Amino acid sequence: AQSVTQPDIHITVSEGASLELRCNYSYGATPYLFWYVQSPGQGLQLLLKYFSGDTLVQGIKGFEAEFKRSQSSFNLRKPSVHWSDAAEYFCAVGPPPNFGNEKLTFGTGTRLTIIP
């Protein structure tokens, strides 16, 4: 069965500092990996996704993630956070693209707090 682990429930970072959010997955085949962000009272917005190709993926809002198969990880990074980045971040894993089944398994989320 597929699963996603986000070990950090809550992270606090100073504005302008770098950020890394951890994500580990378990999937029986080649995973399709996602990072979503959820602001209070809003839906989830896709930050980036990875299935194949370059293991360092660039996303929106200055975020990037690196896929490491040997570590079953897909950590999200940002070199310098902004106060507007405060939100809940979810890592998710799903079947390959065009598989016809878009079921995603989500991690428990990491809440990011930014301090001035």
Partner 1 sequence: GAVVSQHPSWVICKSGTSVKIECRSLDFQATTMFWYRQFPKQSLMLMATSNEGSKATYEQGVEKDKFLINHASLTLSTLTVTSAHPEDSSFYICSAARGAGRVTGELFFGEGSRLTVL
Listed in sequence order, the residues at least 6 apart from 41 whose beta carbon sits closer than 8 Å to its beta carbon are none
Rg value, the chain, Cα: 14
- Answer yes or no whether residue 29 interacts with partner 1 by CB under 8 A: no
* Segment interacting with partner 1, rule: CB under 8 A, options 21-29, 64-72, 75-83, 95-103: 95-103
Is there a contact between 87 and 10 (Cβ–Cβ < 8 Å)? no
Of 1, 15, 11, 2, which Cα lies nearest the Cα of 75?
11
- Answer yes or no whether residue 7 interacts with partner 1 by CB under 8 A: no
- In terms of CB distance, is 70 or 98 closer to partner 1? 98
Which residues bind to partner 1, rule: CB under 8 A? 4, 9, 32, 36, 41-46, 49, 51, 90, 94-100, 102-109
